[in-house]
Every structure is written in C-alpha cells, then in structure tokens.
C-alpha cells in the first residue's frame, strides 16, 4: 500500500473507530506526514519498505535537527500506533515499530498562578463586566469556569446550553476519546454564567446551542480563548506557557493544596492515568518547598 493511502486510511480509523478529537488526528497526521517525506528521500514510497532501521533513522534525523525530546517521544508514539495498526489489518506482515524507542520526554512542572494572582485576574475581569459590555461578561464567565472546573479549552468551547446545570452547579463535558464526565463548579462561576446567559442574546447571529459565542455570534473557537488568556497572563509575573491550560494546572494544584484527594482530582480532570494527575502533587510539593525556603529561619 502506498504511504499516502496508508496515512489517510489511518486518519479515518482514528476518527471513526477510536473517536479521537480533530486536534489529536491532526497531530498524528502531521507527525506521520513528516515520516512520509523522510521515507520518500530514502526511496520508500509504500508500506512494504518500512522497517525498524528506517524508523530509527527518522527519529535520529529529527534529533540531529534539534527537536525536543518531547517531540521525538510524540513522533515515536504516532508511528508505533500507525505501524501496529498496519500489522493488525494485514497490510504488513509484522509490526516494524515493536522495538522502536525514543528518548523519554523531559517533564517540566507546569506554570501555576498563586491565589492572589488568580484573584486579581478575576477581579479585573469582573470590573470590566460590570461596565455592561457583553464580551467582557462572556470573558469573565469563561475564565471563572476554566478555573472553577479545570476544564480543557476544547471542552469549554464545545459546551451547549443543556450541558450546564446551574441548579446542581455541574457541567457535562466530552473530553479526550469522546469520554463524557460531569464536573462541578462553584458559586462565583455560577453567577458569572448566569449573567452571561442573560446577555448572550446580544451576540447571537443565528440560532445556536453553543454556550460561548464569538463577536460574530457563532460558537467561539479555541484560538479566541487562547488569545484571551494570553492577554490576561501577559501582565502576570511568572514564566511558562500563557494559555488556558495554565488555569487548568492552577485549579488542579489549588485543589490538592486545599486537601482534595488525588483520585477525585483525576476524575475531575478526566485523566485516564493517575500518573498524569500525580504531576500536580510535585507542583504542590515545590510550592511548599518555596514557602519553606522563604519563611523558615533555618531553611
């Protein structure tokens, strides 16, 4: 089978049978398209020419080009998944990627805001919303919900009106792998959402069930939320990413700091593995160490 056909069929499989999100499918497809380009330079245009040496050479070429370990690990995972699928459906006799290994990704602690920082951000948004501007009211509701429920940005923009239960203070979201979960939120987020829903009609351009709308009245996109959070974090001291995931990291860390158990936080975040959630215990430990070093006379 030609490589381009094998890659396009794999993308269909990821979407139709595995239920992967469009973002994840694009990520897999991008990595595998790079492999296809590399394979063609080696004279390999079909799946018959794929072997372990070719796969290792591709990763080694990426390493020489300066790719981060995390990128190489992601590429390795993508090609292993693809190669395994090819073997399962009988396109190739054996899985060439069975013994493929990539450098372990460097694990960096995520950026986390302090409570005064998040309070200041929300107070500033509340002041703008109090002016009566519908966009400002929407922005406050988005940030309150992101912080209150530790949702992914894709989950927030994908919300429909009937997903939000303002009486029970819960929101129903569809996360990675099309897995559905119900996540709680608090009073401040409830009040912000109620006010936004009261003003939402000012932006509606056509009938839509989307909770959050863009300036043109249609469902808000992830890019718009990224831009919003980036603007808000631009003036907040601290290094690291400045997107919506910072609020997710912050919420998870603050939950653990406040005494929430790890399993509950895992369920709230929608993590398949407890190991992923455990990252936040390291963040909490680092914050404790910083406080100790700052405050203890014999630190």
Backbone angles phi, psi at 76, to 5 degrees: -60, -40
Helix, strand, coil shares of the chain, percent, nearest 5, are 60, 5, 35
DSSP three-state, residue 42:
coil
Q: Which residues contact 111 (CB under 8 A, 6 or more apart)?
A: 238, 239, 240, 241, 242, 246, 249
Which residues are known to be catalytic?
Answer: 152, 176, 245, 248, 271, 280
Judge contact between 111 and 197, C-beta under 8 A: no
Name which of 234, 206, 203 is nearest 141 in CA terms: 203
Residue with tokens 């990128």: 71
- Quote the tokens at residue 123: 């107070």
């Amino acid at each position: 089978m030609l490589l381009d056909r094998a890659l396009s069929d794999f993308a269909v499989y990821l979407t139709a049978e595995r239920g992967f999100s469009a973002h994840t499918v694009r990520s897999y497809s991008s990595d595998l398209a790079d492999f296809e380009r590399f394979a063609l330079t080696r004279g390999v245009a079909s799946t018959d020419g794929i072997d372990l040496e070719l796969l290792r050479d591709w990763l080694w070429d990426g390493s020489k080009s300066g790719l981060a370990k995390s990128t190489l690990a992601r590429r390795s995972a993508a090609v292993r998944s693809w190669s395994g699928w090819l073997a399962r459906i009988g396109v190739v006799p054996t899985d060439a990627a069975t013994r493929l290994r990539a450098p372990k990704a460097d694990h960096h602690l995520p950026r986390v805001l302090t409570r005064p920082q998040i309070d200041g951000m929300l107070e500033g948004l509340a002041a703008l919303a109090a002016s009566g501007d519908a966009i400002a009211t929407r922005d406050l509701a988005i940030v309150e919900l992101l912080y209150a429920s530790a949702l992914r940005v894709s989950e927030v923009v994908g919300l429909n009106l009937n997903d939000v239960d303002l009486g029970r203070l819960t929101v129903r979201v569809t996360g990675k792998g099309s897995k559905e979960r119900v996540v709680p939120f608090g009073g401040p987020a409830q009040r912000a959402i109620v006010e936004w829903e009261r003003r939402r009609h000012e932006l509606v351009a056509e009938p839509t069930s989307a909770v959050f709308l863009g300036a043109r009245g249609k469902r808000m996109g992830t890019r718009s939320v990224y831009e919003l959070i980036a603007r808000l974090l631009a003036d907040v001291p601290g290094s690291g990413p400045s997107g919506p995931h910072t609020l997710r990291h912050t919420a998870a860390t603050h939950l653990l700091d406040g005494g929430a158990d790890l399993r509950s936080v895992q369920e709230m975040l929608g993590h398949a593995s407890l190991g992923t959630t455990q990252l936040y215990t390291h963040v909490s430990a680092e914050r404790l160490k910083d406080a100790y070093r700052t405050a203890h006379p014999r630190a």
